[in-house]
Amino acid sequence: MKALSQKRRHPFAGVALLLLGLLMTGGLYAAATTINEAQASSEAQEHSASDIDEGEKLFAANCASCHGINAAGTEDAPSLIGVGAASVDFQVGTGRMPMQMQGPQAQRKPAQFNDEQTQQLAAYVASLGAGPSVPEEEHLDAEEGDATRGGELFRINCAMCHNAAAAGGALTEGKFAPSLHGVEEKHIYEAMLVGPQNMPVFNDANIPPEDKQDIIAFLKTYESQGTPGGFALGSLGPVSEGLFVWSGGLALLIGAMVWLTSRSS
């Protein structure tokens, strides 16, 4: 025991441990980098070289002024390395990017690029680093999903921001959760996958593809039903409905009182 204790107190023991720690850290970093490059390479192979080249040209002409010439980010916009094709497809496909003006968050508007150009931009960004890819069509068919179960999942994970009726809602500092009515199935899936802006990321480990499909089925089923009860009133629930009833009731009472007093005179 005394011999072991003396070896532990050797003056070079601390240096040896430090070198060992540095070697292990460097090895893990190199392995992670290799895996990331391999994933980026395999994802880039899904896109043709011509798509990547055309996407790079589109990026340089329309996006580099904010995101940097190599998409590494600037003071005005974040880096796009590693965000994946799904993030680009969502932001560009919904018209949020390029932004019309600076604000608390990018707002949905008519898309500036067509489907082919959007795919090319996504291909170029995907070639820069591994990230979530555009979802497969098999997970986007709302008719194959379970709308009832999707409603439960939506109320648990999404309703606190997007409203139980998916009508959207206000957040802090001028931000908001947008309405999900009229949104394409692909963009709903991508939003859950990448967590744009203020939205948390619901990757496949949190919400599997089958559950995402069920949520899409619920949203599309709810959207197709319309408002069978009458006016939607913003789909804000009993607050707006109660305000409407009280306002309408008071207006009727005041109108009746005015009519009665005019008759008596």
In order along its 265 residues, the chain shows pLDDT tens digits of: 455 455 555 565 666 666 777 777 766 655 544 544 444 444 445 678 999 999 999 999 999 999 998 899 998 899 999 999 999 999 999 999 998 888 888 899 999 999 999 999 999 999 998 899 999 999 999 999 999 999 999 999 999 999 888 988 888 888 999 999 999 999 999 999 999 988 999 988 899 999 999 999 999 998 888 665 556 556 566 666 677 777 888 888 888 888 888 876 5
The pTM score is 0.71
Burial class (CB in 10 A: 0-12, 13-18, 19+), 93: buried
Q: What residues does each domain of the chain span?
A: 38-128, 137-229
CATH number of 38-128, picked from 2.60.40.350, 1.10.10.10, 2.60.40.10, 1.10.760.10: 1.10.760.10
Residue 27, by phi and psi: left (phi above 0), alpha (psi -120 to 50) or beta? alpha
Q: What are residue 176's DSSP bridge partners?
A: 170
What CATH class has 137-229? Answer: mainly alpha
- Quote the Cα angle for 167-170-172, to 5°: 155
